[in-house]
Amino acid sequence: MTPRTIILLSAALAHLIVMVSAPISAAAQDTAPAMNLADVIRTVLEVNLQAKNAREAVSAAEYRLGAQKTRFYPTFSANYQYKHHYEEILSPVFGITIPEDEHRFTASVKQPLFTGFALTNAYELAGLDLDVAKINDQIVRQRLVFEAKNAYFSVLKAEKVVGVGEEAVTLLAAFEKDALNFYEAGMTAQNDYLKAQVELANTRQQLITAQNALAVARADFNTLLRRPVQHPVAIVDETEYIGQTLTVEECMAEAEKQRLELQVGQKRVDAAQREVDLAKKDYYPTVDLQGNYYKIGTDITVNGGPGVSDPESWDIRAVASWNFWEWGRTQKGVEEKRRLAEQAKNDYQRTLDTIRFEVKQAYLKVVESELNIRTVETAINQAKENFRISEERYKQRVATSTDVLDARTLLSRTQFNYYSAIYDLEIAKAALALSMGRESLQ
């Protein structure tokens, strides 16, 4: 079997492996509707279960606040009792004084007048819980916007890497063919041809790895959109390089004003103080206004009977109660809540420190990506020209296959670095926007 035959068979086998390893065919991709970034973000916000849970949490907090509000209103209740005495109690003068069977119906209304500010504080706490739920809903939205951008640009980056790999395979396959022709013509040593063959095999292996990485990126993209992992993915590349204009100090200042986590932290500090006030309720007495309506009888109709002197009555009472000595229980409970309030303040400061670090980290990543783009932009054309010249020199027998292969490797690495910098910049900008509390849908 001639070397040319071996090469052709090897190329066919490698091509088959690449085709089989590609998780989704190009034809399948063409059938999917193309989505731009705004489409991706909108879809994620609509279908994501975290977003739905956040909305449900807001609804639950609204109901909790409504339930707490009803505690200010009067409470109505009814009670029915049946009592059987061992015998009737008789009096020589009055006859039956206590009947053998006694039925009693009581209707009551109770209105709290003073609860040591417990109702007010509990209502305020429920209001703070609702505020936190609404803010958390916005936080979830912001994070999902970032995740949507990250998934979107990760797919684009992976597609570009596959494109670089496919281009490298095509160029190296052509070079390998030239190397084979030169070798068969006796113009080069077999070593040149073998180097080209090995480099082509390695590049094909790298392409397979890149295609698998693309499949993973698409699966992650589909999972975020709650679609089957094998669902075709087609997205429109709207990437536009826009440099960072803000300073890190400006970014931090905006983050300290806009980050919703700080608002949540402040609400929790306020809630902790309300808990302190709520714990003080037992320092005060409670006062309720209560009205009762009674009906008594010897049968189920409670309409009086023998031994019932007054079958129907009512009363109004004001009831004050006060546990004025509990061995310091209330004081210890108040001190406990005060310690928790201090923890809430410390948590707020820790959140602020974390946010400052996140802004700094995200900002440096943006700067790094911008510098990488500027560095590699001019290098791409230089690398392409270097490869072209090396290939021409090889054909003219004034360069070796090593020169060509090195030039090809340099070109692939430069292209990879360029596309990585482009899409890493977009992801870094999205991370910076998130760290600053922005919710950009583009």
CA distances to 123, 254, 315, 321 from 286, rounded to whole Å, are 17, 47, 20, 5
Structure tokens at 172: 């190296």
AA identity, residue 182: F
Domain spans in the chain, listed from the N-terminal domain onward:
3-72+117-282+329-436, 74-114+286-321
Q: Is the pLDDT of residue 363 over 60?
A: yes
Q: What is the model's pLDDT at position 269?
A: 96
Domain 3-72+117-282+329-436 belongs in CATH node 1.20.1600.10? yes
Q: What is the model's pLDDT at position 23?
A: 44
Q: What is the model's pLDDT at position 332?
A: 95
CA distances to 36, 39, 98, 163, 209 from 11, rounded to whole Å, are 37, 40, 110, 19, 18
Instruction: Report the alpha-carbon distance of residue 380 to residue 411 in Å, rounded.
Output: 7
Q: How many CB atoms lie within 10 A of CB 186?
A: 7
At 142-153, the pLDDT tens digits run 999 999 999 999
Of 140-149, 342-351, 380-389, 392-401, the poorest mean pLDDT is in 392-401
Strand (E) or helix (H) holding 256: helix 248-258
Q: What is the model's pLDDT at position 14?
A: 46
At 75-134, the pLDDT tens digits run 999 999 999 988 877 777 666 778 888 999 999 999 999 999 999 999 999 999 999 999
The mean pLDDT value for 176-196 works out to 78
The residues, any chain, with a CB within 8 Å of residue 37's CB and separated by 6 or more, are 148, 149, 152, 235, 238, 442
Q: Is the pLDDT of residue 1 over 70?
A: no
Instruction: Report the alpha-carbon distance of residue 45 to residue 50 in Å, rounded.
Output: 9
Q: What is the model's pLDDT at position 397?
A: 77
pTM of the predicted protein model? 0.80
| pLDDT over 70, % of the chain | 91
